[in-house]
Structure 1
Amino acid sequence: MGSFGDCFPYWYIGDLPVFKRVVWIVLDSVGVGEMPDAAAYGDLGSDTLGNIARLRGLKLPNLCRLGLGNLKPIPELPAADHPEGSFGRCTLASPGKDTTTGHWEMVGIHLDKPFPLFPNGFPPEIIKPFEDRIGRSTLGNKAASGTEIITELGELHMETGSPIIYTSADSVFQVAAHEETIPLWELYRICEIARELLAGPYEVGRVIARPFEGEPGSFKRTSNRHDYAVPPPAGMLLDQLSDKGVPVYSVGKIFDVFVGHGIGEHVKTRSNAEGMAKTLTAMTEAPEGVIYVNLVDFDQLFGHRNDVEGYGAALEEFDAWLPTLEAALGPDDLVMLTADHGCDPTTPSTDHSREYTPLIAFGPKARHGVDLGLRATLSDMGQTIAENFGTSIVKGTSFLHELL
């Protein structure tokens, strides 16, 4: 894989955009309170940020300085008298509460119905041809916590060589395998077969490879996860930017979520720390375009595991990094911080939660202290980026002029 600079010949041609570069960072699962229909999803009372702050306490001085505490009253996160960023909340207009739905909506894709769920496991018409194609029997085939199911079935998996199949309250087909029992290359091949078979009424949002390591009683998942998403419809924001010659770079799992569509250079990451470091690297080598980042530890390591302490520490780690990000900004940069859904670690559920997402926008020439209000859709962010670079997407209302 080359450096970010390798794809730099794709300059934006035409009138200069207001912001030459947009750094779009998704704090995966950092929701900011239940949506009105949360009860229908079993998420009444969910408030990822607020509940962590109340239960654990949070020290986020930089995010609060930028306006995080102005989104809604959270006593532990004081509102700034003069916020240095603009702030608001975004509504997930599409049904669902998963990674694909949230990220797709950001770029202008609204779903009419959620991706299918399989709370009772996958039917024989999927499992039988899947087993035939991979040449192995399977274990599990039920909804389960990823850490709990490898504790339950990991030893049997090592004895039999049968991969562990499980799902959750999200639209996912997950395949867990010990790296010494099924090597990574084969696990990835197995997931590619699953992605091919899961079509029509069985088209889940993502197939996920979930490798793990260790001995019985002390199994732990590794960082070699790989996502196989449904390809997005043509014409969404990233496609339009790419077609217009605006460089689009991705950091983290963004490339997997969009199956590479509309993305030029990309780097995978194994942690928030690596994601933050790779973001800075991208900024040194890519002076124009969009840098689209996903920091997944909040969700993957802490939200799904109901680890309140770990989630809070990860938020504080990101907050401490923000001045480094700000120091790297050029005069024509804009940063947008948001999330794709919630995953409240303080609730009994280990699944995603149906929540509003935060919106914080800042940059050297962006206006300070603008209350962007409650946005009707996550697509408002995509429409803002589209307008900035001289294109348009089907959904969303731009707030570009409110930042000027």
Structure 2
Amino acid sequence: MPRRVIIIVLDSVGIGEMPDAGKYGDLGSHTLGNIARLRGGLHLPHLEKLGLGNIDSILGVLAHPNPDSNFGKMAERSVGKDTTTGHWEMAGVILDRPLPTFPHGFPLDFIERYELAIGRRVLGNVVASGTEIIQRLGDEHVRTGKPIVYTSADSVFQVAAHEDVIPLAELTRICQIARTMLLDDMQVGRVIARPFLGETGHFYRSPNRHDFAIDPPHKILMEYVQERGIEVCAVGKIYDIYAGRGITDSETTKGNMEGVRKTLDYMAKVEAGLIMTNLVDFDMLYGHRNNVEGYAQAIEEFDERLPEIYTALRSEDMLIITADHGCDPTMPGSDHTREYVPLLVFGQKLKKGVNLGVRSTFADLGATVAEYLGTEPIANGKSFYSEIKGG
């Protein structure tokens, strides 16, 4: 029967500090562990049965004596801890220098050139929370028509605009201009259009976000899969993260649960290939906002949906649940955290309960997917398929 791999990336659900976490100011980080500790435990019966508690100690999540999946954790070999870096490494790209960040805003000479290019003055040019800055500068933006430029601890150039002031097509245009201008040492991982709606005191971000990512520097997993003549379907921001490379179909989402639903939709119709989903709410709504309870509830809500995913699996499917970095909401500030990420690998015809240990790179995931789907080997990573292959 044709084979499929379903990868679900729980955006920012890290599982403990990496040995070099101190270099990133992240000593003591453990997204899952610290949430569980402060919350008084997590109720994740389905993830527990897969073996999540076998990876590391998480209050409320026991180590299962006979887990249904194979389990381990992955270290990030690339330098950095952002979304683009983590996802790229899964697909075979290892970066030896971090994507640039701008903790004091973008250089003024660049902003002046950008304003000239788009024909508008801008507001902001600061590091800020996206929800906070539209409350702070939203009225001035509506009054003047000036887009709001801001960044974060990530490698991003973000442009916020009210949809009734700067229509989506125009916001797209000015973000595309930024993408073409951000080169060399200023080549941020993503330019992000951040449209918003509402009125004074009640501005809110709309779901019409769009990311403009840089191209991966070499061939990635998705392209190898596509060359096999099988499908590569992306859910959430996966298409944007990989600049569309190798992706045959994609669906955007407005939340984790819509992401699960659209993953299930693909599973109902895709006969062979790769389905990859990013569930961003953990990171965007809770990690960056230091919302421990919201984060905990979101993980539990995902756990409740797992039986639907199990039911949709076919006998030849491989299900992988992982993350791209940490974003421990209990840590000072609101930055991502340099953590290991969980690795759970399930399949009806795969072995169960194999301890995959600590993988030295996220690329081991991509190498395993490539071998399982019968593509050429990707550029980096060591496949663990032989360790979990059924009899």
Deviation at 1:146, TM superposition (A): 1.5
Tell me, in whole angstroms, the C-alpha distance in 2 between the residues paired with 1:257 and 1:203. 14
Give CA deviations for 1:293-320 in whole Å, capped at 9, x if unaligned: 1111111111111121111111111100
Report the equivalent of 2:103. 119
Sequence identity percentage: 57
Whether 2:374 is the aligned partner of 1:392: answer no
Decide which of 193, 206, 226 is 2:190's aligned counterpart. 206
In the TM superposition, what are the counterparts of 1:246-265 in structure 2 within 5 Å? 246-265=230-249
Give CA deviations for 1:251-301 in whole Å, capped at 9, x if unaligned: 111111111100101111111111100111101110211111111111111
Whether 2:23 is the aligned partner of 1:21: answer no
Decide which of 172, 180, 191 is 2:175's aligned counterpart. 191
Instruction: Assess if the C-alpha contact under 8 Å between 2:21 and 2:339 holds in 1.
Output: yes
Decide which of 209, 233, 236 is 1:225's aligned counterpart. 209
Report the equivalent of 1:285. 269
Instruction: Assess if the C-alpha contact under 8 Å between 2:93 and 2:218 holds in 1.
Output: no
Instruction: Assess if the C-alpha contact under 8 Å between 1:251 and 1:279 holds in 2.
Output: yes
Report the equivalent of 1:74. 58
Tell me, in whole angstroms, the C-alpha distance in 2 between the residues paired with 1:235 and 1:219. 41
Tell me, in whole angstroms, the C-alpha distance in 2 between the residues paired with 1:184 and 1:44. 41
Report the equivalent of 1:302. 286
Deviation at 1:67, TM superposition (A): 0.3
Decide which of 345, 357, 360 is 1:376's aligned counterpart. 360
Tell me, in whole angstroms, the C-alpha distance in 2 between the residues paired with 1:226 and 1:43. 29
Name the SS of the counterpart of 2:67 in structure 1.
coil
Unaligned regions of 5+ residues in structure 2, if any? Answer: none
Letter in 1 for 2:13: V
Tell me, in whole angstroms, the C-alpha distance in 2 between the residues paired with 1:216 and 1:373. 52
Whether 2:343 is the aligned partner of 1:359: answer yes
Unaligned regions of 5+ residues in structure 1, if any? Answer: 1-15
Give CA deviations for 1:192-232 in whole Å, capped at 9, x if unaligned: 11101001111000011111222222222121111110011
Decide which of 30, 33, 41 is 2:16's aligned counterpart. 33
> How well do the aligned residues superpose, as a CA RMSD in angstroms?
1.2
Report the equivalent of 1:11. none
Letter in 2 for 1:28: D
Instruction: Assess if the C-alpha contact under 8 Å between 1:246 and 1:389 holds in 2.
Output: no
The list of structure 1 runs, each at least 4 consecutive aligned residues, that deviate by more than 6 angstroms after superposition, is none
Report the equivalent of 1:322. 306
Letter in 2 for 1:52: I
Tell me, in whole angstroms, the C-alpha distance in 1 between the residues paired with 2:259 and 2:201. 30
In the TM superposition, what are the counterparts of 1:111-150 in structure 2 within 5 Å? 111-150=95-134
Tell me, in whole angstroms, the C-alpha distance in 1 between the residues paired with 2:279 and 2:123. 31
Instruction: Assess if the C-alpha contact under 8 Å between 1:70 and 1:79 holds in 2.
Output: yes
Letter in 2 for 1:166: Y
TM-score normalized by the length of structure 1: 0.94
Decide which of 300, 305, 317 is 1:333's aligned counterpart. 317
Tell me, in whole angstroms, the C-alpha distance in 2 between the residues paired with 1:52 and 1:74. 9
Give CA deviations for 1:332-381 in whole Å, capped at 9, x if unaligned: 11100010011111222112111111100001111111100000000000
Tell me, in whole angstroms, the C-alpha distance in 1 between the residues paired with 2:250 and 2:329. 30
Report the equivalent of 1:52. 35
Report the equivalent of 2:386. 401
Deviation at 1:23, TM superposition (A): 0.4
Report the equivalent of 2:77. 93
Tell me, in whole angstroms, the C-alpha distance in 2 between the residues paired with 1:185 and 1:346. 38
Report the equivalent of 2:45. 61
Report the equivalent of 1:9. none
Deviation at 1:389, TM superposition (A): 2.2
Instruction: Assess if the C-alpha contact under 8 Å between 1:108 and 1:236 holds in 2.
Output: yes
Name the SS of the counterpart of 1:364 in structure 2.
coil
Deviation at 1:40, TM superposition (A): 1.4
Letter in 2 for 1:210: R
Name the SS of the counterpart of 1:32 in structure 2.
coil
Deviation at 1:81, TM superposition (A): 0.9
Name the SS of the counterpart of 2:293 in structure 1.
helix
Deviation at 1:87, TM superposition (A): 0.5
